[in-house]
Amino acid sequence: MAETVKDQLTSDHQELYDTLTARRYFAKFERITRHLVRVAGEVEAEGRLTRTEARTLGRYLAALTGTFKALNYKYLMTGRAEGSPRLTFDRHDSGFPVAQELMMMALDAAQVQKHLGGMASETELKDRMVRQIVRDLTVPTQLQFALSQRLYYESLATGGIFWPRNDPDCQWIADVSHDGTERKHFLLHWAIYDTQANLPVVYLMDVEDSGKKPLPNDDRRWPMAQAHLMAQSALGLKLLTIAQGFDKDFSGLHPKRLRRITLGPMHSHDFTLQSGPIAQVLADANAPDGDDWALVWTVEDLVSDREEEVKDGWFSSAERQVYRLDPIASDSGATRIERMVILPERPYQVLADLDPPGFRDVRKFVVGVGDRIMPAR
């Protein structure tokens, strides 16, 4: 029987059934997300991110850490308590939780006060645990589960979570001059959790604003721009398509640069399915638990080469961006694409020894002793 669309979309999904496996999975991501913040610092030090851009990216990385922390609480008792939920993750070309997990978090967050209001406090739950252990000499599994759910909802209430949709924000950078007219340079940034790839994706757009009212203070243009950008944020769209659409729909906004940072996939010999050189690297490394991974970080970059005045209707004209495309891979829809991989020392040593051609142009960041990040080629 032919596979249904649902079967095709979920065939690479895997549930975590037992407590130890779930804890190993979250411990791995806790470490990886810490490294991502350090790698962002290295990229800033090299001058490839401004301080503002690095701090902006750092906030999204911190939110991603908050998401994994909340999910860790939610699934803390997987396989131990009756009725405890199980995490579903994408084991092929992702390694991250499926998008449905974040969607459920967003729904839970919408009713978080209702959930917390119906739960015993953390102090009360711990007191009841102690009394059960002393009186009944039994493990208070159900109370432990109740506490894990309490901590999960408290994490959602605290905020700082990477949601399925993280709507655009706008930050002023500088006032600039263009052909004798004053413009304001803004950094627009937003993020999504792509539902097809099951990966977090961050967007950075440099925009010059020639409108009469600054974009974030314009209650007409700003909501329209936010809605437009969120509607065009699918990972499958080329940057050129996104930028040209924005340039055409908002005549007073001039998108000078657009970057898309895709965080992942995460490859792990224990948890994910991979093919090609990375599969051999992780298998040959035979690294201990916690060091058997590699995370890919891709930066797509589209830069405007110049502005041209084009006819816009019968009696008017508009300025449009002409973007510089990679002459070798013009169909990529980007000026350049840079791939980086972050991995512990043992897998890196195997990668260096194998030296597969597909990884020679990939920037490497090695996690050394004391979690020190060491750039390598």
The 10s digit of each residue's pLDDT in 23-82 is: 999 999 999 999 999 999 999 999 999 999 999 999 999 999 999 999 999 999 999 988
Nearest alpha carbon to residue 362 among 275, 294, 268, 273: 294
Residue 151: strand, helix, or coil = helix
List, for the chain, all residue ranges whose pLDDT scores fall below the cut of 70. Answer: 1-10, 313-315
What's residue 81's pLDDT?
86
What's residue 5's pLDDT?
46
What's residue 17's pLDDT?
92
What's residue 4's pLDDT?
54
Nearest alpha carbon to residue 260 among 319, 192, 352: 192
pTM for this model (two decimals)? 0.94
What's residue 224's pLDDT?
98
With beta carbons less than 8 A apart as the criterion, state whether 268 and 95 touch.
yes
Residue carrying structure tokens 């009725």: 83
Element of type H or E holding 17: none
Task: Give the Cα separation of 309 and 37 in Å (integer).
Answer: 41
Please list the residues that pair with 334 across neighbouring strands.
none
Q: Which amino acid is at 210?
A: S
What's residue 179's pLDDT?
85
Q: CA separation (Å) from 237 to 234, 260, 343? A: 6, 11, 28
